[in-house]
Each structure stands twice: as structure tokens, then as C-alpha cells.
Structure 1
Amino acid sequence: MATDRPVVVYPPDEEGGRRVRVDGQISGRAYSLGDVAAFMQEAGLQSFDEMDVVRSALIEWRGGGPETWTD
């Protein structure tokens, strides 16, 4: 399924991390909303914080929403 959202947060792995893809490139693994916010900031959205991550329509959450950090 294709998406027009530039950020994808994948399901949690066995260690509780979630891969984060920004504009087609894997940015790293997030263990919290703060980590996702940091990836967004690195991508140029410097003012993004944890609440922006929760509310943003730019992010596609797979395998659970922003409250899911364990598999």
C-alpha cells in the first residue's frame, strides 16, 4: 500500500524500537516519541516536539500508534 505521508514509523521490534523512515530513507530506530521528534527535527522541522509527533498527519504509524512501543 503506497502512502503520501513522508514519515513512516514501523512496528516495534523485539527490543521495543521502531524503525523510522523519512522521505524514503531509514533515519534510525526510535524508542520513544522524543526520538521520533528528533528525527523530524533532523529532517528540517526544528520546532517539532512530542505532541506534534502524536498529532501530525505527516506520519504513518504501522503496527500501532504513537502509544505503542512494545511488540
Structure 2
Amino acid sequence: MVGSCRSCDRCAKDLENYCTKIILAYNSPDHDGTKTYGGYSDMYFGLSKPGMHLGVVGLGGLGHVAVKFGKAFG
């Protein structure tokens, strides 16, 4: 989940995961009408700077890829 309407009763009660207009992380229409391609797929939050710290929770399918990205970025 990457978004919700933020205006319904459920969102007002911090229950965005129950929003009827939920925006899923992949292949859902976003607020601007474009399709989503993953939560933060176009942002790397400064990982292009060598020496930054990276925390990875779990070393499963995606976790090991995060470690590889971290190593690649230095």
C-alpha cells in the first residue's frame, strides 16, 4: 500500500489500510492517474553517496536484493 484517499472516515481514524480507495504498491492507479510500480521505486534517499548506512530487515527475496543495491552504491 502506498496511498489512500485521506478523506474518508477510515482514513480519519488512521485506518488507511481499510480505505475503499486504497492505492496498492504495484499496478494500481495513483492520484495523478499513472500506474504505481512499487513503493519508492524512483527514490534512493541519498544512497548514491558512499558511506551511507542501510538497514535491511529480513534477508529473503527482497532483502538480499537491498544488500546488493547497498553494496553497488558503496
TM-score class, shorter: under 0.3
Q: Which has the higher helix share?
A: 2
Which of structures 1 and 2 has the larger relative contact order (alpha carbons within 8 angstroms, sep 6+)? 1
Whose strand fraction is larger, Structure 1's or Structure 2's?
A: 1
Larger of the two Rg values belongs to structure: 2
- TM-score, normalization by structure 1: 0.20
Give the alignment's TM-score, normalised by structure 2. Answer: 0.20
